[in-house]
Structure 1
């Protein structure tokens, strides 16, 4: 039997037979995500759909549960800058280089009303449960590594950074 030709899955994941401990695996819940954010001292809110979100370095992040049983944690951030759609090829080149050179987060670009929306996304499947430590690790990695990519964009588009600062000052 080859590595990729198993005819039967393991009857039970290894973690399911383990004795529960403080690091035991439990289902992913919105409350567990919120507790992990609170433990880091992060400020967040919950929108009308029940999704948790907040701002880091003025970029919007959401911490979503997706999948059939809402077992996949998705940390999604959006770059808070305006760049015209004419820059699509240049921004795609940066995104593709990032995706080639790094494992995560995945970054992608969309044209939205004549401007570019740039996103970073880390998704982790917790079908068999997750420890509090894993939630904390993946939230921290999702935010910090996405911000690293956004910093690259900021270096490339300093005028967009300044325009966002002016816009923010005018709004608040």
Structure 2
């Protein structure tokens, strides 16, 4: 059993101090690194399985943003990583492309600190297991879940005082479930 804290990376070459300050001070994420481009960030992501959040300044990465998110999501280390896109513009096609690439959340710049904190906190339940001490199971333990009248089988990956992580096949037509 080991206690782990949340970690995040920022991809931004604008020297913006607002975002790192919010992440460190307001969200209490102590493990934070800033990278100037997607290539540097992708190399780190491929080697590190403890990255919970990736904040991407779209104006820094432009047309490399969505291919970066797709490549990162292909990596086994990024199963639970949440990708947060910050951009100066939005339209239906842009947001659709962001969602299809695997972006978890979006915020329009300029943004209020409170809004960024609120949106980030909505992403955190899926990574909350990292806050509490957890027990990683050495063997597969199966779990059956009932949700909206349907039953689904999954495998318990770890258990902590804050809950457990259960991997299931993709839920379709059942809404959103957080375990």
TM-score bracket relative to the smaller structure = 0.3 to 0.5
Whose Rg is larger?
Answer: 1
Q: RCO higher in 1 or 2 (8 Å CA, sep ≥ 6)?
A: 1
Task: Report the TM-score, using the length of structure 1 for normalisation.
Answer: 0.34
Task: Report the TM-score, using the length of structure 2 for normalisation.
Answer: 0.33
Structure number with higher strand proportion: 2
